[in-house]
Chains A and B, each alone.
Chain A
Amino acid sequence: GDSVTQMEGPVTLSEEAFLTINCTYTATGYPSLFWYVQYPGEGLQLLLKATKADDKGSNKGFEATYRKETTSFHLEKGSVQVSDSAVYFCALITGGFKTIFGAGTRLFVKA
Chain B
Amino acid sequence: EAGVTQFPSHSVIEKGQTVTLRCDPISGHDNLYWYRRVMGKEIKFLLHFVKESKQDESGMPNNRFLAERTGGTYSTLKVQPAELEDSGVYFCASSQELAGTYNEQFFGPGTRLTVL
Contacts and interface: CB of A to CB of B under 8 A. Distances in A.
Interface residues of A, number: 23
Interface residues of B, number: 29
Contact of A97 (B41, B103, B106): B103
A51 interface: yes
B74 to A, nearest CB: 16
Interface string B74-116: 0000000000000000010101000000111111111000000
B85 to A, nearest CB: 17
A93 B104 CA distance: 10
Given A98-B45, A98-B56, A93 B109 contact: no
Interface of A: 4, 32, 36, 41-46, 49, 51, 89, 91, 93, 96-104
Interface of B: 3-4, 31, 33, 35, 37, 40-45, 48, 55-56, 58-59, 91, 93, 95, 102-110
